Amino acid sequence: MQKLTAVILVGGPGTRLQPLTDDRPKSVLPVLNKPFMEHFIAYLRQYGIEDIILTLSYLPDVIREYLGDGSRYGVHLTYCLEEEPLGTAGAVKNAEAYLGNTFFVLNGDVFTDMDLGDMLAFHRENKAKATISLTWVDDPSAFGVVETDSEKRVKQFIEKPPLAEATTNWINAGTYILEPEVLEYIPANTHYMFERGLFPHLLGTGAPVYGYPYRGYWLDMGTPEKYFSLNVDLLLSKVTGPLVSISGQNGIYYSQDAVIHPAAVMAAPVMIDGGSRIGQGVRIKGPVVIGRDCRLEDGASIENAVLWDNVTIGAGARLNQCIVSNNVTIGSNREVVNCVVTPSQTVPLLRQ
């Protein structure tokens, strides 16, 4: 397989997903107990993409500490830092020194099982300068709306138009394949976006820009609600990924050093990480993810929940439809429903 390069966009203002991102960018939020970027890197590696450039601006050291030089994942990671966010295209321009051949650019907050090999073949067949992956959504107004002709050539790209002005439900899915020449059109050291700058500009010059439609699973992890859905969808096998293995023990998967009381009751799908202790009479009804070193005290009951690390759920407490971040203690007999709970805040998870 040919060695390929990808640039992942993980900086900018959109890296926060409050209240979960006070101490980490969204790209390393745990998804089934592994940082999101680990899933992302494993996905790229499936297609022979082993040279990966991460463009960072928000809390860059947290990402670097998690991922290191990439050798643990069988890839080579390069970090390109922005003092101030340079915008999606500006961030790629900042990485120009590493980009000699056709390369991928990916929004770093999307989970999909789209076939990148097929997308590359499509890009080459069409001799495109840029190929934009597309996905179909009910409400395109929060996305880049991409109109194509019958040959899949892009006619128009409009970023976040009012709903009435969206001419199609096909939107920019946030994965691009680009020829290095297009970098010439991106100003250096300037804030510049693909969505509002480069793509409209290329279309204006008549350059061959194509849209690659994909109808499978696609999710932009842009809100706590979407982040929650991603964990649930993976647990329910609505989508899978190279790092996802939840088939063990009838959908109940726990680390060997988790301690589960024999009188705890569990309904799949449930995933429990190492060091966690599940007490007597605890009821867990999946989909549920429990991180490292959590404690569910006797008689607690949780359903439809994502717990990060070192969370304590007091005896008799009841949790439903919640994300609980690191180091939170929920008091005994409390009832918490539809909430994102962090050490400093509790906010609603799903808008009713």
Which positions lie near Mg ion, rule CB under 5 A?
109, 220, 222
Give whichever of 21 and 276 is closer to ligand GDD, judged by the CB atom: 21
Minimum Å distance from CB 94 to Mg ion?
Answer: 20
Q: Give residues with Cβ within 8 angstroms of 202, minimum separation 6.
A: 129, 130, 182, 185, 209
Minimum Å distance from CB 160 to ligand GDD?
Answer: 7
Give whichever of 175 and 276 is closer to Mg ion, judged by the CB atom: 175
Give whichever of 208 and 222 is closer to Mg ion, judged by the CB atom: 222
Q: Which residue has the tokens 């860059």?
A: 60
Q: Give residues with Cβ within 8 angstroms of 150, minimum separation 6.
A: none
Applying CB under 6 A, the residues found at the interface with ligand GDD are: 9-12, 14-15, 55, 57, 82, 85-88, 91, 107-110, 143-144, 159, 171-172, 174, 195, 220, 222
Minimum Å distance from CB 169 to ligand GDD?
Answer: 12
One-letter amino acid for residue 83 of the chain: E
Per the annotation, the verdict on 3 as an active-site residue is: no
The interface partner of residue 12, options being ligand GDD, Mg ion, none and the CB cut-off 5 to 8 Å by kind, is: ligand GDD
Minimum Å distance from CB 253 to ligand GDD?
Answer: 29
One-letter amino acid for residue 37 of the chain: M
Which two structure tokens, joined as six digits, stand for 166?
């969206």
Which two structure tokens, joined as six digits, stand for 323?
């994300």
Minimum Å distance from CB 142 to ligand GDD?
Answer: 7
Give whichever of 30 and 144 is closer to Mg ion, judged by the CB atom: 144
Instruction: Please name which of 273, 268, 338 lies closest in space to residue 309, comparing C-alpha atoms.
Output: 273
Query: Where are the alpha helices (H) located in 1-83, listed in sequence order?
Result: 36-45, 60-67
Distance, CA of 71 to CA of 86 (rounded, Å): 28
Distance, CA of 41 to CA of 69 (rounded, Å): 12
The interface partner of residue 11, options being ligand GDD, Mg ion, none and the CB cut-off 5 to 8 Å by kind, is: ligand GDD
Report the DSSP beta bridge partners of residue 170: 136
Q: What is the CA radius of gyration of the chain?
A: 21
Q: Which of 127, 152, 155, 160 is catalytic?
A: 160
The interface partner of residue 55, options being Mg ion, ligand GDD, none and the CB cut-off 5 to 8 Å by kind, is: ligand GDD
The interface partner of residue 326, options being Mg ion, ligand GDD, none and the CB cut-off 5 to 8 Å by kind, is: none
Would you please indicate which residues are annotated as catalytic (active-site) residues? Answer: 160
